[in-house]
Structure 1
Amino acid sequence: MAESGKRSGWVKASAIVVGLTIVYVAVLAAYAAGDSGDDSDIRRPAANGVLVYVDIDAVNGAAFEIDGHVSVYAGGELLDARGDLKEDLTIDVSPLVSSTDLTFAAGSRPGTLPVSLYSDGDIRLWPFDSYVSESVSVQAYGPNDAELPTEAALTDSLIGWDVRAAGSASAGGQAFTITSSRTAGSLTFDLALCVMLVILPICTLFVSIQTVRRRKAFQPPMVTWFAVMLFAVLPLRNIFPGTPPFGSWVDYSVVLWVLGGLVASLALYVIAWWKQAP
């Protein structure tokens, strides 16, 4: 009988190890899948036109904006022999959060300038939040507001986010839509943090209930363990990627119930102490 019980224990332990290994490999695979894109680009600006890359490098859900940089490449007819602009060049990107003009003066070389675009979304839905920038347009202008042939391309340097353009993103002056959503790897990490929080009250409730039922003896040092678990919740919640504000969906669906379970566990253990202590 003892040998059978020992064998059963080894089977359960092996199953747990195998399960954790599978989850570990799945998380790594999801993360790798989010970074497997081909970043090569062979576009060139038209001889009398401008090529504009809009590179998104930050999503700020609390401020309803996405941040990035605009990289400008001018065609050969717009440049002198040294590669400097013959005339002033203005890039109109809308809808910008600020009204700052993206202007390159004659005699200078076009380069990179920061931009912030308005993006609609709800960070309280973390980790299932997504953001949409509608009617985004990019157009280059020369002197006297003369429109220049413009090609726009969206790039994504943001880890953990999938940023896509829908519509006529390559046609200057025509509106397109930028959508930002979390990658599978990022979403898996966020949900894994929530699962870890949920496991805490499950463990403490199991210990408390077994102690109240007198199936396990009361151990005074365990009270410290309950307190540590209780005060560990907020630090864990504060490391959620994207820093969702308090009162978000995850607080009502996970954090509140985790705190409630830990408090109930501590109360049950105090009851066990009252019943069993001399």
Structure 2
Amino acid sequence: MTTTANRRPWIVGAAIAIVAIAMIVVVAVWSQSSGGAKVVDVGSTASADRVDIEATVIRVDAASGELTLRLLVIPRGSLTTEAGLSPGEDLEILTSAAVKTDPFFPAGERIPTVDVAVVLGGTGITAYPFDRHTAPIELTARYGGRTVDVHLTLTNRDALFSASAEAFSESQTAIVDLELRRSGSVLTFAIFMIAAMWALAIAVATGAWFVVSRRRGLVWPALGWMAATLFAIAGFRNAAPGSPPIGSLIDYLAFFWAEAVIAVCVFTVVTVGVSVERTREE
């Protein structure tokens, strides 16, 4: 009775600590996701005759090393004939080398949104979940053959990534050095996966040691649980958000080791168990 009473404060304290940590993680992830949509606002709005560009990161494909950038181009002042819906003269958006397309809008025609592909640099997806991707983006507007002022607003809508940027305007060109990292929710879940895989591997190793050290023989429920864990971890790893390829950092941190430990444990339990069963039969 005394032992139970002594343990109760520790149990309550541990429960409070777990709840507090969970609340801190939730608040941190929520604050990051709720405030991280707008990345940068660059260029002057002082000139009435300018081109506003609303650029949105729609999707980051880290596996192929590209992101999809959606551009909404709005000419202002004397550059438009329909309150921003169409340009008065031919309008072309010149981009940097990382952007694969230079959007062109003929005079008098309505301007649609345009999706362009942007080549990514950085570590690559194999550094998941700590991968970092960069994209230098430069946008210049040419209206009727002459360069005009540009105002750029860049936002991020890919929930799997958080974005930050350094931006400035130079010679009527909006320049953005964009950096993308895994969002707080993805990073938190990936770290949880690493911890969970190691915990399962340690649990199987502990069970195997118990069966082998006590010469229990072939304990089929234990073997079934170990084998099921071996395959369950593979499915669990494939559920990683962002679908990192095999051979990513997360595999070297946990998955490969967990699979190896569990496989060795199953083999050891079977080998020792067969020996024990034969001894009993003799």
TM-score by length of structure 1 reads 0.85
CA offset at residue 14 of structure 1?
A: 4.3
Q: Which amino acid aligns with 2:24?
A: A
Contact persistence 1:53–1:152 (CA under 8 A): yes
Partner Cα distance (1:219, 1:159) in 2:
46
Q: Which of 129, 133, 141 does residue 135 from structure 2 map onto?
A: 133
Is the alpha carbon distance of 1:246 and 1:104 closer, same or farther for their aligned partners in structure 2, counting shifts above 3 Å? same
CA offset at residue 4 of structure 1?
A: 3.7
Partner Cα distance (1:163, 1:169) in 2:
19
CA offset at residue 52 of structure 1?
A: 1.0
Deviation per CA, 1:98-142, whole angstroms, max 9, x where unpaired?
Answer: 3x33122222233421011111022111111101113x2101111
Report the more deviating stretch, 190-199 or 156-165: 156-165
Q: Which amino acid aligns with 1:59?
A: V
The residue aligned with 1:214 is 214
Contact persistence 1:126–1:250 (CA under 8 A): yes
Report the more deviating stretch, 28-37 or 163-172: 163-172
Matched, 1:263 2:268: no
Partner Cα distance (1:133, 1:207) in 2:
49
Is the alpha carbon distance of 1:249 and 1:38 closer, same or farther for their aligned partners in structure 2, counting shifts above 3 Å? closer
DSSP 3-state at the match of 2:270: helix
DSSP 3-state at the match of 1:151: strand
Partner Cα distance (1:171, 1:54) in 2:
20
Deviation per CA, 1:232-275, whole angstroms, max 9, x where unpaired?
Answer: 12211111122222122222221111011111221232245235
Is the alpha carbon distance of 1:250 and 1:7 closer, same or farther for their aligned partners in structure 2, counting shifts above 3 Å? same
DSSP 3-state at the match of 1:54: strand
Q: Which of 4, 7, 30 does residue 32 from structure 1 map onto?
A: 30
The residue aligned with 1:84 is 86
Contact persistence 1:91–1:138 (CA under 8 A): yes
Q: Return 5+ residue gaps in structure 1 as ranges.
A: none
Report the more deviating stretch, 107-116 or 48-57: 107-116
Q: Which amino acid aligns with 2:153?
A: A
DSSP 3-state at the match of 1:250: helix
Partner Cα distance (2:7, 2:229) in 1:
27
The residue aligned with 2:110 is 109
The CA RMSD over aligned residues, in Å, is: 2.8
Contact persistence 1:151–1:171 (CA under 8 A): no
Q: Return 5+ residue gaps in structure 2 as ranges.
A: none
Is the alpha carbon distance of 1:64 and 1:169 closer, same or farther for their aligned partners in structure 2, counting shifts above 3 Å? farther
Contact persistence 1:45–1:74 (CA under 8 A): no
TM-score by length of structure 2 reads 0.84
Aligned residue runs from structure 1 range 193-232, under 5 A: 193-214=193-214, 219-232=219-232
Partner Cα distance (2:273, 2:93) in 1:
72
Matched, 1:47 2:48: yes
Partner Cα distance (2:53, 2:192) in 1:
39
Contact persistence 1:30–1:185 (CA under 8 A): no
Partner Cα distance (1:140, 1:154) in 2:
16
Matched, 1:63 2:64: yes
Is the alpha carbon distance of 1:6 and 1:270 closer, same or farther for their aligned partners in structure 2, counting shifts above 3 Å? farther
Contact persistence 1:153–1:170 (CA under 8 A): no
Contact persistence 2:140–2:147 (CA under 8 A): yes
Q: How many residues align?
A: 272
Contact persistence 1:65–1:117 (CA under 8 A): yes
Matched, 1:180 2:180: yes
